[in-house]
Amino acid sequence: MSTETPWPPQSSADFPRLASLPAYVFAQVNAEKMVRIAAGEDIIDLGMGNPDIGTPSHIVDELVAHAGDHKHHRYSASRGIYGLRDAMSEHYARRYGVAIDSESEVVVTIGAKEGIAHLMLAILDSGDTVIVPSPAYPIHSYSVVFAGGRVHGIPLAEGERGMVDGDALLEAVEQACASTWPRPKALILSFPNNPTTLSADPGFMERAVEVCRREQLLLIHDFAYADFSFSDDEPPSLMQVPGAKEIGVEFFSMSKSYGMAGWRVGFCVGNPAMVGALTKIKSYLDYGIFQPIQIAAAHALRAEQECVTEVRDTYRRRAEALVGALNRSGWPVPPPLATMFVWARIPERFVEMGSIEFARFLLREAGVVVSPGVGFGAEGEGHVRFALIADEDRLRGAGERVGRALRQNP
């Protein structure tokens, strides 16, 4: 414990590593939401990206079939059982035409979030710099801070409609490498992107690998929304880029694609040294996921994939319902090309308020919870994020309520 830690500590903020985390700006809106729910208000909560679509029954049935067997009640393997690692390898071969070695190039994680956090702990030294586009899914930055590293933020901007401005992003990466000493060690990317919903094309992925090779950066790609493109273009996997495995890894999550957020299953695939580092640190920290869950996850990956298409189509219809209602209400919000979110620029006359106050305004005046954009990094200011975690009628209702609130406060 640092000598600066007050004795005895009064709160978690008294511990220096936690005190260096950025403020958790979602907390304030959350606290107000709870008060209103407790008071009996009908609140439409589109804050957290917590999927409401249940897990398909064939996956639940597989869990149930194995849950009672005593041999599965012991500790499992922290790196994941072979059958699940092999199912992930088959998934990459089938879907992306890429060979992933089930022994050395894949490790099972307790969700992508845990995997990213522990990978950073395994590969960073205190003071190492990691380049993270902003806005970002918070763990991309927090994981670096937890590991004692430094975040170098670069702006994430839209290029052509719905696509990342890849040239600007990679130029910023090169500038960061030229201007930061010691040189940055890693770059974290994530497309389709939460919260901005921006997508990337295969050409961008290739250029990203090229830049990382030249700048000697490790590349970490969070592919949690791999199955969530609403256009005809499949989101590219980092692993499809020749040579990507020499410098990077990709995280895949069962949470969104298979409605399994509560089950906590993810994967890290790619570079054997990085996968090995994560495997090693996990072997000290956990004993693996409950084995029947791993068996059911392997079944999910190997069975008919129609359920994944259904989940994606559900989110697409939901996005249309919400965006349609917001647009009819006079808030011109573009439909997302991907993910399970709508990322909306705050109407001009409310921008000054800032995204936290605007989110509080929507809660108070419309009974709708959204995430303030600034919670995803400074560049997220001026926006709010709607998570599509309610059915179409309720989302339409949310859009109408928001429209009424905007009109009543000209």
Ligand X SMILES: Cc1ncc(COP(=O)(O)O)c(C=O)c1O
- In 135-283, at which residue ranges do the beta strands (DSSP E only) sit? 150-155, 186-189, 218-222, 248-253, 266-270
Binding marks (x or -) toward ligand X, 104..143, rule CB under 6 A?
Answer: -------xxx-----------------------x------
Inter-residue contact 117 to 247 (CB < 8 Å) = no
Query: Least distance in Å: CB of 40 to ligand X?
Result: 29
Distances (CA, A) of 26 to 116, 194, 374: 21, 15, 9
Which residues neighbour 255 within 8 Å (Cβ) at sequence distance 6 or greater?
Answer: 51, 111, 112, 224, 261, 263, 264, 265, 266
Closer CB to ligand X, 220 or 344, in the complex: 220
**CA–CA separation, 297 and 106 (whole Å):** 15
Q: Does 250 bind ligand X (CB under 6 A)?
A: no
188 near ligand X, rule: CB under 6 A: no
Position 235, amino acid:
P
- Token readout for 248 is 């990077």
How far apart are the C-alpha atoms of 295 and 66, rounded to whole Å?
8
Binds ligand X by CB under 6 A, chosen from 55, 129, 141, 194: 194
Residue with tokens 């149930």: 64
The CB-of-165 to ligand X minimum distance in angstroms stands at 19
Give the residue with the Cβ less far from ligand X, 177 or 296.
296
Angle (CA) 328-331-337 rounded to 5° is 90
Q: Work out whether 221 is an interface residue with ligand X (CB under 6 A).
A: no
Give the nearer residue to ligand X in terms of CB position, either 242 or 262.
262
- Residue 49 or 403: which CB sits closer to ligand X? 49
For ligand X, the closer CB: 140 or 185? 140
Binding mask 365-394 for ligand X (x = CB under 6 A): ------------------------------
Q: Which residue's Cβ has the minimum distance to ligand X? A: 111
The region that residue 317 occupies, defined by phi over 0 for left and psi between -120 and 50 for alpha, beta otherwise, is: alpha
Report the residue number, 209 or 260, with the smaller CB distance to ligand X: 260
CB nearer to ligand X: give 293 or 325.
293
Residue with smaller CB distance to ligand X, 255 or 355: 255
Within a 10 A sphere around the Cβ of 398, how many other Cβ atoms? Answer: 25
Q: Considering the complex, what minimum distance in angstroms separates the CB of residue 292 from ligand X?
A: 18
Angle formed at CA 133 by CA 127 and CA 134, multiple of 5 degrees: 105
Smallest distance, Å, CB 226 to ligand X? 10
Least distance between ligand X and beta carbon 264 (Å):
7
Q: Could you tell me the smallest distance in angstroms from the CB atom of residue 112 to ligand X? A: 4
> What is the biggest distance separating any 2 CA atoms in the chain, rounded to whole angstroms?
64
Could you tell me the smallest distance in angstroms from the CB atom of residue 111 to ligand X?
Answer: 3
The smaller minimum CB distance to ligand X, of residues 154 and 405, is found at 154
Give the x/- contact pattern for ligand X in 266-285, rule: CB under 6 A: x-------------------
* 224 is a site residue for ligand X (CB under 6 A): yes
Phi, psi of 292 (to 5 degrees): -60, -30
Provide, rounded to whole angstroms, the least separation between the CB of residue 4 and ligand X: 32
Number of C-beta neighbours around residue 284 at 10 A: 9
Tokens of 400: 């109408």
Does position 49 bind ligand X by CB under 6 A? yes
Beta-strand ranges (E) seen in 303-406 are 341-345, 368-369, 371-372, 383-387
Q: Find the binder of ligand X among 117, 209, 261, 277 (CB under 6 A).
A: 261
When the beta carbons of 224 and 390 are compared against ligand X, the nearer one is: 224
The 10 Å Cβ neighbour count of residue 65 is 13
Least CB distance to ligand X at residue 10 (A): 31
53 lies in the binding site for ligand X (CB under 6 A): no
Cα separation values, 163 from 110, 175, 196, 205, 350, Å: 30, 22, 10, 12, 26
Q: Does 222 bind ligand X (CB under 6 A)?
A: yes
Question: In the complex, which residues of this chain contact ligand X (CB under 6 A)?
Answer: 49, 111-113, 137, 190, 194, 222, 224, 253, 255, 261, 266
